[in-house]
Chain A
């Protein structure tokens, strides 16, 4: 229990540090949110009004105190640009990003785990010689290139999938839930999720393969062989289950990282997600929105880190023992 509590306090400390760094970072960055208002009729007095509205005319320490105070109440503030609560803006696009990320991760990790196990079995064969460079190449290929390639082939040339967006023009849905569970949404999800999955599959695949190779040297595998189990049974029931553990950690961390890291895929496929919103917010010096989005990403990462840790303990009692 104390372990969990300590962990929680630590997480809060990390988040506080991140929030503070974010606050300072955006205020030290050159640029000024009022530059978005520059217009022939914009005057020095109007600029002061805007600065006052944004609270930017207050001393830095007071701005910081208000910011932290709001955070403690769960308030992320008002976006400078959208003039709307940051939380609402983020919540509006978060489901799109989560669905994209989760779909891609699940595909990438299932494919990676199976592929990695298979490659470990085929060690030293021509299958390995062909597949490993291919995996490395897709892992190294820039996402936008991959995305454009998929677009050119499956959207422009074959016309199987739409060229962007999350739903068809003019499509109407009774609710947000109906929208993200519709066939139309799924149809639009295919290409961006595939791009992201192709980009992500390299890590689990190579990780799985390396783990398998390691596990296969263990005595219990030799033992199983001596017992006369079939090769497939040994691989899947004995080796793969043990080799899967590090993948769980990688999945949790990968999820945390890709919630905010989909800027490129979101831009290429005009996917209304949080990564795109984040980049826009930074570019327009929308401090509250950028801070809120970054903080959310950090929180997801920190939480997923903790989840990975705990899952690891559950899946592998040896680790839980050591931690306790």
Chain B
């Protein structure tokens, strides 16, 4: 196997520069066989099929492409830890309520500061982009910030550091015999499996327990550690947060009754009065201070530390008011930090923090036998491999209408469908099979309601900017033009996806640049882009522009 060192990457970049003034000479080197990493079919059929379709299309440009399926942990290990040893890889970004402010993605995915060991694993480096991302992060005025967001999206559209593919749809189903359809809330970019449905769903019959499913076991029930996807559904019900991301994607005060910026780095918050922890203790301003300060303490909470890293100081300004000073302006702070950090009781976690730190351990190594939060649901019992039972916290100011919320771990997709039909579950919250099967099932059973929502997360192909030919934006643009996203959405995702060309999902209506995702597939344009840049096809194989040598060395 051949590898490209960083030095060769620079040489490649230089070669691209020289290609701007093509000499009427022999074509450059033939582009080597390119390897496209993907999840195996058994693990992610949609992704695998999309990879096959992409390879098929791009071969028409004269490229030789091998799709190489790898189990997810191995694939991630190569892409993340061996940054100059792969050509391109399928990848995904999942949607989460806190990503309703696009800052986390706009900044971390492409800002050059994250190229070395951070999320910019495609090694996209562009000063103009860095400036746009820094500006959107610091601008508090939404109107002005929108301009920078649009700018960032335009630059990404031009340079195509990712070949975006689709925004998939999240499909969930519930029984309308058990839950009133008008009380189910579809959160923008997330779907009906969301906090708002869980607190607002109204029983339509005597069955007042909401029984939901998860396709994998839980890892932990901890306000300071999320070990797997399912953990986060529970934590946001048991532990409250100062802010919540509303159904429309905008932050709304929750445990705080108000949140006001007094200047670009000063935020004043008031705590909603009358809140109590599940053990009966009062939620105090000390708890709020503790919740914002504890994650910053050494390695006590490695997972939440980045979300408080920008806090310079938190001070109580009254019995129920608090002031947060930030180190630098951060427009996404309300959503990305305050709607993410859990409020934790100081009387429980304070002593725990001391004892854990003394043992050289973090909050992550401690599982409360009975977790205590201040959220709308109380913990009744849990067995991580089997089921979790929560009950409505009737003392909560936004008390749920249901009696209990029960999560069952159902590892068999088809059995989960059967359970929904039989009422063993009444809300299918985790379905990893073909959504069409679900839709067809609902046609047979009038009580089953299926709701599909376009995710704010997306699927993409990551071309490795450290390796030629992917270090050439024109080459990437050509690949993008040769990509039929409509067809991918229809064929690989069975119609449950829409074309993507931006890291800002269309569900984030205020931030997504209108029309940015309307890329047309144009094989002629793709070929023209390559020809104009000096690439030539010789005997059916694509060659670099004249004078460009593909010098790959072992590293």
Using a CB–CB distance below 8 Å, which chain A residues touch chain B? 30-32, 35-47, 49-50, 53, 78, 81-84, 92-93, 148, 151, 155-156, 159, 162-167, 169-170, 172, 266-270, 272, 276-277, 280, 283-285
Given A35-B77, A164-B415, A170-B404, the answer on whether A283 and B383 have CB atoms closer than 8 Å is no
Is B246 interfacial (CB 8 A cutoff)? Answer: no
Is B275 interfacial (CB 8 A cutoff)? Answer: no
CA–CA, A49 to B361, complex, Å?
A: 12
Q: Which residue of B lies closest to A283 (CB)?
A: B73
**CB distance A81 to B219 under 8 Å?**
yes
CA–CA, A53 to B363, complex, Å?
A: 12
**Chain B stretch 385-438: residues in CB contact (< 8 A) with chain A:** 385-387, 389, 404, 406, 408-412, 414-416, 418-419, 421-422, 424-425
Query: Which listed residue (B108, B219, B424) contacts A169, Cβ 8 A?
Result: B424
CB distance from A92 to the nearest CB of B (A): 7
Q: Which residue of B lies closest to A272 (CB)?
A: B385
CB distance from A30 to the nearest CB of B (A): 5
Given A81-B219, A82-B384, A172-B381, the answer on whether A38 and B76 have CB atoms closer than 8 Å is yes
Residues of B within 8 A of A81 (CB): 219, 227-228
Residues of B within 8 A of A268 (CB): 411-412, 415
Given contacts A92-B384, A276-B217, A277-B385, 11 further A-B contacts (CB under 8 A): A30-B77, A41-B307, A45-B117, A49-B302, A81-B219, A81-B227, A82-B219, A164-B424, A165-B387, A165-B409, A270-B412
**Chain B stretch 107-138: residues in CB contact (< 8 A) with chain A:** 108-109, 114, 116-119
Q: Which residue of A lies closest to B76 (CB)?
A: A35
**CB distance A83 to B220 under 8 Å?**
yes
CA–CA, A285 to B423, complex, Å?
A: 36
Is B475 interfacial (CB 8 A cutoff)? Answer: no
CA–CA, A163 to B108, complex, Å?
A: 43
**CB distance A163 to B77 under 8 Å?**
no
CA–CA, A159 to B421, complex, Å?
A: 11
CA–CA, A283 to B70, complex, Å?
A: 12
Query: Which listed residue (B220, B225, B386) contacts A165, Cβ 8 A?
Result: B386
Residues of A within 8 A of B225 (CB): 83
CB distance from A278 to the nearest CB of B (A): 12
Is B273 interfacial (CB 8 A cutoff)? Answer: no
**CB distance B73 to A162 under 8 Å?**
no
CB distance from A324 to the nearest CB of B (A): 46
**Chain B stretch 176-227: residues in CB contact (< 8 A) with chain A:** 209, 211, 216-217, 219-220, 225, 227
CB distance from A74 to the nearest CB of B (A): 19
Q: Which residue of B lies closest to A156 (CB)?
A: B418
CA–CA, A163 to B410, complex, Å?
A: 9
Residue interface mask B446-479, A partner, CB < 8 A = 1: 0000000000000000000000000000000000
Interface of B is mostly: mixed
Is B299 interfacial (CB 8 A cutoff)? Answer: yes
CA–CA, A39 to B73, complex, Å?
A: 14
Q: Which residue of A lies closest to B109 (CB)?
A: A40
Query: Which listed residue (B108, B362, B385) contacts A40, Cβ 8 A?
Result: B108
**CB distance A31 to B104 under 8 Å?**
no
Given A82-B220, A155-B418, A164-B415, the answer on whether A44 and B117 have CB atoms closer than 8 Å is yes
**CB distance A43 to B299 under 8 Å?**
no
**CB distance B367 to A84 under 8 Å?**
yes
CA–CA, A166 to B209, complex, Å?
A: 19
**CB distance B406 to A170 under 8 Å?**
yes
Query: Which listed residue (B80, B81, B411) contacts A267, Cβ 8 A?
Result: B411
Residues of B within 8 A of A269 (CB): 412, 415
CA–CA, A92 to B217, complex, Å?
A: 13
Residues of A within 8 A of B364 (CB): 83
CA–CA, A47 to B83, complex, Å?
A: 15
**CB distance B389 to A170 under 8 Å?**
yes
**CB distance B387 to A167 under 8 Å?**
yes
17 contacts between A and B (CB under 8 A): A31-B74, A32-B73, A41-B119, A53-B362, A82-B227, A83-B225, A151-B414, A151-B415, A164-B424, A167-B386, A169-B425, A268-B412, A269-B415, A270-B415, A272-B383, A283-B71, A285-B73
Given A41-B306, A82-B384, the answer on whether A156 and B410 have CB atoms closer than 8 Å is no
**CB distance A30 to B74 under 8 Å?**
yes
CA–CA, A32 to B211, complex, Å?
A: 35
Residues of A within 8 A of B381 (CB): 172
CB distance from B412 to the nearest CB of A (A): 5
Is B315 interfacial (CB 8 A cutoff)? Answer: no
Residues of A within 8 A of B411 (CB): 164, 266-268, 270, 276
Given A92-B383, A163-B415, A269-B415, the answer on whether A40 and B104 have CB atoms closer than 8 Å is yes
Is B105 interfacial (CB 8 A cutoff)? Answer: yes
Which of B78, B404, B408 has the most C-beta atoms of chain A within 10 angstroms of its own C-beta?
B408
Query: Which listed residue (A40, A47, A162) contacts B424, Cβ 8 A?
Result: A162
Residues of B within 8 A of A49 (CB): 299, 302
CA–CA, A248 to B365, complex, Å?
A: 44
Residue interface mask B364-390, A partner, CB < 8 A = 1: 110100000000000011011111010
**CB distance A42 to B71 under 8 Å?**
no
Q: Which residue of B lies closest to A41 (CB)?
A: B306
Which of A40, A45, A151, A272 has the most C-beta atoms of chain B within 10 angstroms of its own C-beta?
A40
**CB distance B408 to A166 under 8 Å?**
no
Q: Which residue of A lies closest to B404 (CB)?
A: A170
Given A78-B365, A83-B364, A164-B419, the answer on whether A42 and B77 have CB atoms closer than 8 Å is no
Residues of B within 8 A of A277 (CB): 217, 385
CA–CA, A39 to B409, complex, Å?
A: 25
CB distance from A217 to the nearest CB of B (A): 48
Residues of B within 8 A of A151 (CB): 412, 414-415, 418
CA–CA, A291 to B103, complex, Å?
A: 40
Residues of B within 8 A of A40 (CB): 93, 104-105, 108-109, 119
